[in-house]
Amino acid sequence: MQTRLVRTFTVLAVALVAPLAFAQDFVSRVNALYADIPAGKRSDTILIPALAAMEAPPASLRDLEKARLLVPEMQGWKEALDWAMKPAQRAAIDALNKATAPQASPPPMAWGQGYGVAAVTPALVKARLYTELGDPPLLAAAQFLYLPKLTELNILANIEATRLQTEGKVNEAIMLMGRMLVLGRQIADRQFFREARWGLETMVSSLERVRDIAYIDFRGKHLLTREQIMGFIKALDDKGEVRVDRILFPKGDIIGAEQAVAIVMNPRGGINERTFPTTMAAMTSSEQPLRLFSEAATWKSAGAGHGDWFATNEEVRKLSDDYTKRWPLEWFHPLSSLPFERDKLDATMFAVLAATVPDMSELFNLRQAVRTEIVGTRAALAIVGSYYARKTFPPKLSSVAPEWMERLDIDPFNPQLQNHNRPPLEYFVPIRDQAVDAKSDPLPHEINIIGENGSNFSIKLKDDTAVIYSVGADNRKGWAKRVQNTVEKAPDVDYLIWPSELSLYRQYLSETGDLK
C-alpha cells in the first residue's frame, strides 16, 4: 500500500511539472504580502522557538473550553498547574508577552511566517510549525500545522490566568488574556480563511475570559483597582492595538483558486484532463493522503460539465470582488443583507472553485462578534469600576461616561444605527429596574442560556449584580430572558455580555454538582 501511495504521488508530481513552472508565482504572490514586516516586528520569530519547546498539555486539558472552566476546586487542577509551571511553559508565557507587547512606534508586531517549506527553515519543518503546501506546493492544499500549537498556548494562557487570579493577581490575569487577544488579532490578519477564523475566534474567547475573570473578582475580593480597570478599558478603545476596522480580509484562498485554475485548465480552453483529477485530488485529500486514490477517481468524472477557462476566471473575479467590496461596509449596509456570490456558486460548473474557495461569510460574523465583545467588555469593566467606587450600580449605562470612557460605545447590533444614532448596549439591575407586582415579593430575573457546547441551562439573578446585553442578531430588545451568543439570526435571543456566559455556565455546573 505504501509503495502504491508513493507511486501515485510520483505520477502527480510528474503530471504537474509543466504547469507549475508558472503556477509557483502564486505562492510567491501570497508570501510577498509579508515582505514589508520588519524583522524586529515579527512575532512568529519570538514565539515559534518557545512553541517548539512547549510540552503538550495533559490529556484532560486538550480542549480549550475545559481549560477556560477549570478552577482549583476541580479535578485535574493540580495536573494542569504542574504542567503550566514547568520551565518550557513558563518560557512560552514569556514569549507570548514579548511577541504581543505594545510597540512604542508603528508598525505593531505581526505574524510574518511565509507559506511552504521554501519560506521556513528545516528546523521548523521538522518541528511541524509551519504551513505545509505539499509537493508540488498548492495553496488550496495548505495545512496550517502551527495553529494546533497556538491553541495549546491558549490553553496554557487560560490555566496561567486562573493561577494568577487564585494568587490575588487579578490584573495580571486580565492582562495575560489581553495578550492572547492581541495574538488572535495578529493571526486574524493572516492570508487564509482558516487562519483568520482562528484569530477572530481567539479574540472572542479572550474577551469573554477577561469578563469571566472580572466577574469572579466582582463576586470575590474586589482586588481590581480603578487605574487597572481604566487602563484596560482604554486599551480596548477604537484607537488601540486591537482595532477591528484595520483587520485585513484574507487573499490567500482566492489566489489559491487562481493557482488551481492555472494548473487544471487549458488557457482560453477547458479542463486539462491530465492535470485536473490529480491536482484536485491532492488539494482535497491533503490532510488525509490515503484518500488520494478515491479522490482522483471521483475528480476524473467531475470535469465533464465544468465551465471553460473564461467563465471560471470570471467567477473567480466575482467571488473576490464580492468579498472585498463587502468587507469595509457597516453591518447594516444594504449589500450585507444580500446572498454572497459564494452561496450562488454552481458547484458542478465550477467544481474547482467550490473546492478551493471556502465560505468566508463566517469571517464577517466573527468580526461582528469581536466588535460586540469589545464594546461589551469595556461597558462591563466600567460598571464594575463604578460599583467598586460607589458601592452601588449606576442608574443607567450612560452614567459611566465620561468618567470611565470618553463617550459610551454603541451596540453593533442595534438597528437604530441606520439613522446615525448611537444606541448603547442594554443595561438593567434585576428587580430594581423591572416592573414588579407590589403585592408580591420581587422575583429574581431568570436568564435562559443556549450554550455553544450544546448545554442549555437557566440562571436566576438578584439585584446584587447587573445585566448588560446586546440586542443581538434579531435586533430586538428582549431583556436577556433568552440569550445565545451568536451572530447567526435566531428569534428572540439576545447576546449576553454581563455576567459572562462562561461564568454563569461554571456556576450552573457547580450548582448541579457537575463541576468536577
Residue with cell 482595532: 243
CA atoms within 13 A on the CB side of 129: 23
Q: Domain segments of the chain: what residues? A: 33-246, 252-358, 426-516
Residues of the chain with pLDDT under 70: 1-23, 285-297, 418-419, 438, 453-454
Sign of torsion over alpha carbons 299, 305, 308, 313: negative
Q: Tell me, what amino acid is at 266?
A: N
Please answer whether residues 256 and 356 qualify as being in contact, where contact means their C-beta atoms are separated by less than 8 angstroms. Answer: yes
First to last CA, the chain: 46
pLDDT of residue 430: 96
With a CB cutoff of 8 Å and minimum separation 6, the contacts of 475 are 413, 414, 415
Q: With CA atoms as reference, report the closest residue to 92 among 141, 32, 48, 124.
A: 48
pLDDT digits (tens, 9 = 90+) for 468-485: 999 998 889 999 999 999
Q: Give CA separation, 481 vs 18, 376, 410, 493, in Å.
A: 62, 18, 21, 8
Q: With CA atoms as reference, report the closest residue to 395 among 407, 383, 406.
A: 383
User: Using CA atoms, how far apart are residues 166 and 173, in angstroms rounded to an integer?
Assistant: 9
What is the length of the chain? 516
Beta strand 456-461 with 426-428 is unpaired
pLDDT of residue 289: 54
Q: By three-state DSSP, how is residue 297 classified? A: helix
Q: With CA atoms as reference, report the closest residue to 257 among 320, 306, 197, 301.
A: 320
pLDDT of residue 300: 76
Q: With CA atoms as reference, report the closest residue to 102 among 197, 208, 290, 239.
A: 239
What is the SS3 string spanning 413-464? Answer: CCHHHHHCCCCCCEEECCCCCCCCCCCCCCCCEEEEEECCCCCEEEEEECCC
Q: 98 exposed, middle or buried (CB, 10 Å; 0-12, 13-18, 19+)?
A: middle
Q: Would the pTM of this model clear 0.85, i.e. be above it?
A: yes
With a CB cutoff of 8 Å and minimum separation 6, the contacts of 397 are 379, 383, 408, 424, 425, 426, 427, 468
pLDDT of residue 377: 98
**Sequence-ordered strand ranges (E) for 94-239:** 131-132, 143-144
Q: How many beta carbons lie within 10 A of that of residue 301, not counting itself?
A: 9
User: Using CA atoms, how far apart are residues 70 and 166, in angstroms rounded to an integer?
Assistant: 12
**C-alpha 424, offset from chain centre:** 24
User: Using CA atoms, how far apart are residues 372 and 497, in angstroms rounded to an integer?
Assistant: 9
pLDDT of residue 244: 95
Q: Residue 475 region, left (φ>0) first, then alpha (ψ -120 to 50), else beta?
A: left
Beta strand 467-470 with 495-498 is antiparallel
**C-alpha 338, offset from chain centre:** 24
